[in-house]
Structure 1
Amino acid sequence: MSYASYARVIHYATSILCCNKGSMDLVELYRKVFRRFDITENDFWYIVRKCPRFAVVRSAGASERGPEDWGSDCTVVAKTSLRICKNYTKYECGDCQELHLCKYFVYGNCRYGKGRKQCKFSHDVRSEHNYPLLRECTLHELHEEDLFLLLLQNDPTLLPEVCSHYNKGSGPYGACTFKATCTKLHICQHFIQDDCRFGHRCKRLHAVDEYGRRMLEERGLSGEIIHDLPFIYKNVYRLSLNTPYPEREGMALEPMVRPAPQSEERTEICLHFLRRNCRFQDQCIRIHFNLPYKWEVFDGECWRDLRHMEEIERTYCDPRNTHSPGSRPVDFLTMTRDSDPVRRLSTASSVNKPPHYILTTQWLWIEYGKADDKQRVTSLTSRDLEVAYLTDSNAEITVMKGHRQYYLSFQDMYQRNPKHNTKRKVRRRPRFISITEVEEKIAR
């Protein structure tokens, strides 16, 4: 299966889950996906286990051996790391990494959106602020109602809590002293956890009653969402049980990867994984990622992906730039963000692989091998310098330009003129490749 197909499988499976109230039995989901995509059970199992878009939740005692043991004891739940910005409606947020949307629009019941008076807050999921965030998480093609369900079961600030006191004691309201005026949801906790042994004979609610409906409507939730809330709360609980793979926050395709390594040794991105044919899978000694570059920041405990990865890469590839855009820029010269260390991982250099290898990193030594305004050309090309640099990154080499001689130090990245004792900074930057270009190259 090609890389482009792999991305489409994730999108299609997400759509199916959202249309099915956010979760589905693993076998049933596979059957629906298989009707459109020729994907093996092993490949599908790998996707749902490794891609952070999905959580696989097993019942107690279920086997961990693999897809040959599939059954109704496995449920797949749709996940996302995106959240609604809490400060947006307080006019306290300018540029952040969360969606700027009217909460009641997500609830499906904004009164301003239905009348002549326009809502003060955005109802546009494709706004200049929101669309790049959706694209990074590959949710930009998802229907609005599917996106909203995804947010409801993943963003803990959008729904009221289940009342723990209601689930204690006896009586119609349990031990809840607020009774019908409680602002938390009265519903059976064991029903949500899929372990209520009383079924329809249970004294606790397994659906939203009249009082709960009234409370939820006052909060702005639409009748359709209220009807589906028991299923959504089940998914919220399932997601709390699942041990998550780290969310991939800064890329257009959420990949099937394991947590970022703590050591500095594994810094090369696997070319075979990019082409969807790495036979080593979890045992691979290289990083599995969906792009030929990866930007990470060290938070004191581990390396985490940076958001807006494509934009950071685009800026970095221009040698004139020393900082990335945004309110918390990456300093390309010191490779830090707010004093936190930043690193860029990449695929192997193009000089180390045969020409037919796609998505290698083409490093460019700026101005080398090109004629200047006097038509003078350096004795070494950008490729020559790259070969020398990879051979010995601490070396100092001699470069001729016309009749002038220069010393180029790889260690401090300066070019020095020994005659006049002047020097200037040298920059080695990669050729930029967009997410779209990556997908097109693999598709071809």
Structure 2
Amino acid sequence: MSNYAGVIHHATSILCSNKGSLDLQQLHRKILQRVEITEDDFWYIVKKCSRFVVVRNRERTDEWGTDCVVVAKTSLRLCRNYTKDGCRDCQELHLCKYFVYGNCRYGKGRKQCKFSHDVFSEHNYRLLRDCTLHELHEDELFLLLLQNDPSLLPEYSLPREVCSHYNKGSGPHGACTFREGCTKMHMCMHFVQGDCMFGPKCKRQHVVDEHGRRMLEEKGLSGDIIHDLPFIYQNLYRLSTPIAPYAVREHVPEPVCRPVIHKEEKKEICLHFIRRNCRFQDQCIRVHFNLPYKWEVFDGNSWKDLRHTEDIERAFCDPRNTHSPGSRPVDFLTMTRESDPVRRLSTVSSITKPAHYILTTEWLWYYKGDHQNWIEYGRPDDKQRTTSLTSRELEEAYLANRSADVTVMKGHRHYYLSFQDMYQRNPKHNTKRRVRRRPRFISIREVEDKISR
């Protein structure tokens, strides 16, 4: 497997940045964006490498060749004795558990946590290097640990953490007599097990509700992990269920489960069509739409236009928002509506065209401030300090290499901004801030005005 080390690392990084698992075909397509690898070699890697487990997605009904899911796996664990001062040198990571949860109260204040927040300490780095995980970003590593290390979520080892009574009976709480006072998660067990036949029409929760969120926050989990917890549950189940791994399915003919690479769909909106002068008409390789943005939802068979496109776009352009308005909101972090995939099509980035091109998409870059506000790069913060790079410069760097890390200065401090996980890190204090890339909003009326001029 040493010849495939680069592919294995890249595939692991992709899986961990996509909530720990991906469809086999989708993973192959993402790898091909950076690495040329044949289907045979790709299939050999995911089948033979211990980093991956291939399972069948039971929500799908097509033949067992196009419904495979790849889950990231590791044998690395957090040391249980480290926080008891009972370990000095072992083969497990020495880290604060609440730091992994993203919610250590000591790491945020002046009082320093007595347990390590240094992922790359001498002890930890040696273990990460031995497991070839030393190049993963911090958040990717934490997600990998959460879905593999049973000591991190002991209270929630499946299926005990999901309320069985909630999954019976009718009503908002099922047959659970404790209702809001229940100490277990009110979540669809079939969704967790990956075989919910109702999908977005299911009457049971496929997300963590407000009561569950409060309960999990009391346990020390951060909002980001709570948001991803249903997917972590799914992967925990996939990794722990005896019938899940591919290894016990060797009787299935090997070629059946190979990835089928489909031709990429058109995703860029035609600038000329918006201005009503596309000479290619139906033969155009771009999407013909009357706005520079288009929101679509996948219904299981094809992509359908979402209603209230302007309202969704207005909400998306505000970096404070994680959801669109309405009774069935779009989740901007996962790009889903309930459990259905959502995508946003747009015109090309404004930096790729001369200034006289109208209705290109101007992307703005923001980092999270000290007061839960979002500050655009290159703009002054509340202390009138500005970053060394602007939105335009970051957009240029991003389009040149979407997995790069760039250095940003603000005052006398320097930071590393990772495009791959969208975090800005302070290497001196080991702190990080979320980063968001959102377009500048343009209304339907503004579009019409620009065209008429």
Normalising by structure 2, report the TM-score: 0.49
CA pair 78-40 structure 1, distance change in 2 beyond 3 A: same
Please tell me the residue identity of whatever aligns with 2:45: I
For residue 119 of structure 1, the aligned residue among 91, 110, 113 is 113
| Counterpart in the other structure of 1:239 | 239
| Counterpart in the other structure of 2:337 | none
Matches for 1:306-321 after TM superposition, within 5 Å: none
| Counterpart in the other structure of 1:164 | 164
CA pair 178-81 structure 1, distance change in 2 beyond 3 A: farther
Matches for 1:165-314 after TM superposition, within 5 Å: 165-241=165-241, 242-243=244-245
Write the distance in 1 (CA, Å) between the matches of 2:7 and 2:111.
41
Q: Is the 8 A contact 2:19 2:143 kept in 1?
A: yes
Write the distance in 1 (CA, Å) between the matches of 2:31 and 2:240.
26
Write the distance in 2 (CA, Å) between the matches of 1:10 and 1:146.
14
Shift in Å, 1:230: 1.3
CA pair 92-174 structure 1, distance change in 2 beyond 3 A: farther
Matched, 1:140 2:134: yes
Q: Is the 8 A contact 1:131 1:140 kept in 2?
A: yes
Q: Secondary structure at the match of 1:75?
A: strand
Q: Is the 8 A contact 1:52 1:244 kept in 2?
A: no
Q: Secondary structure at the match of 1:154?
A: coil
Write the distance in 1 (CA, Å) between the matches of 2:34 and 2:223.
33
Q: Is the 8 A contact 2:54 2:246 kept in 1?
A: no
Deviations 1:292-320 (CA, angstroms, capped at 9, x unpaired): xxxxxxxxxxxxxxxxxxxxxxxxxxxxx
Deviations 1:324-374 (CA, angstroms, capped at 9, x unpaired): xxxxxxxxxxxxxxxxxxxxxxxxxxxxxxxxxxxxxxxxxxxxxxxxxxx
CA pair 26-243 structure 1, distance change in 2 beyond 3 A: closer
Number of aligned residues: 239
For residue 19 of structure 1, the aligned residue among 9, 17, 26 is 17
| Counterpart in the other structure of 1:404 | none
Matched, 1:152 2:146: yes
Shift in Å, 1:155: 1.3
Write the distance in 2 (CA, Å) between the matches of 1:36 and 1:213.
37
Deviations 1:53-91 (CA, angstroms, capped at 9, x unpaired): 011112457766xxxx4x2x0111111111112222122
Q: Is the 8 A contact 2:13 2:136 kept in 1?
A: yes
Q: Secondary structure at the match of 1:129?
A: helix
Q: Is the 8 A contact 2:54 2:245 kept in 1?
A: no
CA pair 184-85 structure 1, distance change in 2 beyond 3 A: farther
Shift in Å, 1:7: 0.2
CA pair 156-181 structure 1, distance change in 2 beyond 3 A: farther
Please tell me the residue identity of whatever aligns with 1:196: C
CA pair 198-244 structure 1, distance change in 2 beyond 3 A: closer
CA pair 6-32 structure 1, distance change in 2 beyond 3 A: same
Greater Cα offset, 113-122 or 192-201: 192-201
| Counterpart in the other structure of 1:38 | 36
Write the distance in 2 (CA, Å) between the matches of 1:80 and 1:103.
17
Shift in Å, 1:171: 4.2
Percent identical among aligned pairs is 72
Q: Is the 8 A contact 1:50 1:245 kept in 2?
A: no
CA pair 96-185 structure 1, distance change in 2 beyond 3 A: farther
Shift in Å, 1:195: 2.0
Write the distance in 1 (CA, Å) between the matches of 2:143 and 2:189.
21
For residue 53 of structure 1, the aligned residue among 48, 51, 61 is 51
For residue 73 of structure 2, the aligned residue among 54, 60, 79 is 79
Shift in Å, 1:130: 1.4
Write the distance in 2 (CA, Å) between the matches of 1:94 and 1:107.
23
Structure 2: 5+ residue stretches without partners: 251-453
Q: Is the 8 A contact 1:102 1:121 kept in 2?
A: yes
Structure 1: 5+ residue stretches without partners: 247-257, 259-444
Q: Secondary structure at the match of 1:239?
A: helix
Q: Is the 8 A contact 1:113 1:119 kept in 2?
A: yes
Please tell me the residue identity of whatever aligns with 1:19: S
Write the distance in 2 (CA, Å) between the matches of 1:86 and 1:177.
36
Shift in Å, 1:220: 1.1
Shift in Å, 1:128: 2.4
CA pair 98-177 structure 1, distance change in 2 beyond 3 A: farther
Compare CA radii of gyration and give the structure with the larger one: 1
Please tell me the residue identity of whatever aligns with 1:139: L
Q: Is the 8 A contact 1:52 1:245 kept in 2?
A: no
Please tell me the residue identity of whatever aligns with 2:83: T
Matched, 1:8 2:3: no
CA pair 168-88 structure 1, distance change in 2 beyond 3 A: farther
Write the distance in 2 (CA, Å) between the matches of 1:12 and 1:144.
15
Q: Which runs of 4+ in 1 moved over 6 A?
A: none
Shift in Å, 1:43: 0.6
Q: Is the 8 A contact 1:49 1:56 kept in 2?
A: yes
| Counterpart in the other structure of 1:91 | 85
CA pair 189-129 structure 1, distance change in 2 beyond 3 A: same
CA pair 244-104 structure 1, distance change in 2 beyond 3 A: farther
Q: Secondary structure at the match of 1:148?
A: helix
CA pair 195-79 structure 1, distance change in 2 beyond 3 A: same
Q: Is the 8 A contact 2:55 2:245 kept in 1?
A: no
Write the distance in 1 (CA, Å) between the matches of 2:111 and 2:88.
24
